[in-house]
């Protein structure tokens, strides 16, 4: 439960710190990065508390993370890319 809450609070904090003028909109876009968890629907079993998402689910692979990093180059997608990378970072921390 705390992990899911962090997927909302961390993007909001990053947005407030870096996008103060539009922090609510930026935070919502970054928090939308949780959509990447849709790939959990294709896993068997769908949820395994002992499984690390990074490297297992197809939207959580290192190739996908590299793509999210490349999206930082495109100004209109930068905030979403930051949200994706925050999501991957939080999932990686959950693996430790």
Mean of per-residue pLDDT scores for the chain: 93
User: pLDDT class for 32, splitting at 50, 70, 90?
Assistant: very high
pTM of the model: 0.91
Domain ranges of the chain: 2-95
The helix or strand, by DSSP H or E, that contains position 62, with its residue range, turns out to be: helix 62-70
**Residue 56 CB neighbour total at 10 angstroms:** 14
**pLDDT top residue among 51 and 79:** 79
- pLDDT over threshold 90, residue 48: no
Q: In the predicted model, what is the mean pLDDT of residues 75-90?
A: 96
| Cis ω for the linkage preceding 45 (within 30 of 0) | yes
> pLDDT band at residue 50, thresholds of 50, 70 and 90?
confident
């Amino acid at each position: 439960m705390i992990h899911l809450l962090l997927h909302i609070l961390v993007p909001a904090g990053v947005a407030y710190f870096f996008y103060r003028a539009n922090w609510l909109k930026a935070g919502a876009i970054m928090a939308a990065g949780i959509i990447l968890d849709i790939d959990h629907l294709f896993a068997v079993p769908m949820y395994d508390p002992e499984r690390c998402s990074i490297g297992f689910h197809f939207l959580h692979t290192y190739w996908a993370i590299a793509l999210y990093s490349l999206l930082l180059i495109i100004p209109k997608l930068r905030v979403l890319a930051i949200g994706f990378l925050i999501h991957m970072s939080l999932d990686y921390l959950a693996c430790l």
